[in-house]
Structure 1
Amino acid sequence: MTSVAKILQSKPDTTVHTIAPTALVFDALKLMADKGIGALLVTEGEAIAGIFTERDYARKIALMGRTSSVTQVRDVMTSAVRFVRPDQTSEQCMQIMSTGRLRHLPVVDNGKLVGMISIGDLVKDIISEQKFIIEQLEHYITGTH
């Protein structure tokens, strides 16, 4: 099993993009589009106040008839944020994501935000791990160590 710490190390960009709860949803969407990401952590100083995702926008702005140019992120963010530690495994993260129907997990170490992993990061890691195992089994079966 790969640890969250190793998954973070393998990411080309480990920047965690954040936004203030008082920011407008429009600005959050613009930042997400500019960075090619699907979620922003909502922070107040060093504290995590929530998470704002594309799903929050679709369900709490578009479907509720709100306007992103006047609605603040705090009004539509998800406040109950699940997070993981760097020592947790990719399998544990997949279980948390599957059970909670989540696509993003902040990584917190000793109360400090150290990264963010997505379902895409986990899938990439799992595919890489499975590919390695398949190659090892092929070498074992064919006798070409």
Structure 2
Amino acid sequence: MEMTLRSILSGKPSKLHVVGLNDTVREAVRIMVAGDVGSVLVMDEGGLRGLFTERDLMRRVVAEGRDPGHLLVEDVMTREIVTVSPDITISQAMALCTERRIRHLPIYDGETLMGMVSAGDLTKAVVQDKQHTIDDLISYIYGGETI
């Protein structure tokens, strides 16, 4: 049985990196840098309104020569968000990221925001799973001996 996003979330810190619609881009970048993340959730009145990503920063702020200290996140965030269930498989999530050309997937269980995974999180989970399989095969072939 293939792993689901729920399994990735269980291994990630539960802290969500969040900004508000009226926060400045500079504040959003400060939060991204402090959290070592490539995006932040944009929340308002308890609901997800968008994402602010490194791509948004480069395309809508830096490339246009706009001042991040005076520019609001609401004016440059990504509004069309793809959200997913924690029960979809990692393969399904990777296919969705590829198909939609996105890197971040907020995860909802019903109405509850559980967290977010990145394309990097998905890749890491696949690599770890493959390494586990390789280790098991080596152990089987060599009868438990390590090489």
TM-score, length-normalised on structure 2?
Answer: 0.91
Unaligned runs of at least 5 residues, structure 1: none
Letter in 2 for 1:78: T
Name the Cα RMSD after superposition: 1.3
CA distance in 1, matches of 2:128, 2:29: 31
Letter in 2 for 1:104: H
- Identical counterparts, % of pairs: 33
Match of 1:54 in 2: 54
CA distance in 2, matches of 1:124, 1:27: 29
Match of 2:17 in 1: 17
Letter in 2 for 1:125: A
Match of 1:111 in 2: 111
Unaligned runs of at least 5 residues, structure 2: none
How far off its partner does 1:139 sit? 3.7
Match of 2:9 in 1: 8
Q: After the TM superposition, which segments of 4 or more aligned residues of structure 1 sit over 3 Å from their partners?
A: none
Q: What's the secondary structure of 2:87's corresponding residue?
A: coil
Letter in 1 for 2:11: S
The 8 Å contact of residues 24 and 72 in structure 1, kept in 2 or not, is answered as yes
Q: Number of residue pairs matched?
A: 143
| Residue-by-residue CA offset, 1:20-47 (whole Å, 9 max, x unaligned) | 1111111111111111111000011221
Match of 2:87 in 1: 87
CA distance in 1, matches of 2:63, 2:95: 29
The 8 Å contact of residues 16 and 115 in structure 1, kept in 2 or not, is answered as yes
| Residue-by-residue CA offset, 1:31-72 (whole Å, 9 max, x unaligned) | 111111110000112211000001100000011121101110
TM-score, length-normalised on structure 1?
Answer: 0.92
Match of 1:36 in 2: 36
How far off its partner does 1:7 sit? 0.6
Write out aligned runs for 1:58-77 (5 A): 58-77=58-77
The 8 Å contact of residues 14 and 116 in structure 1, kept in 2 or not, is answered as no
Letter in 2 for 1:136: D
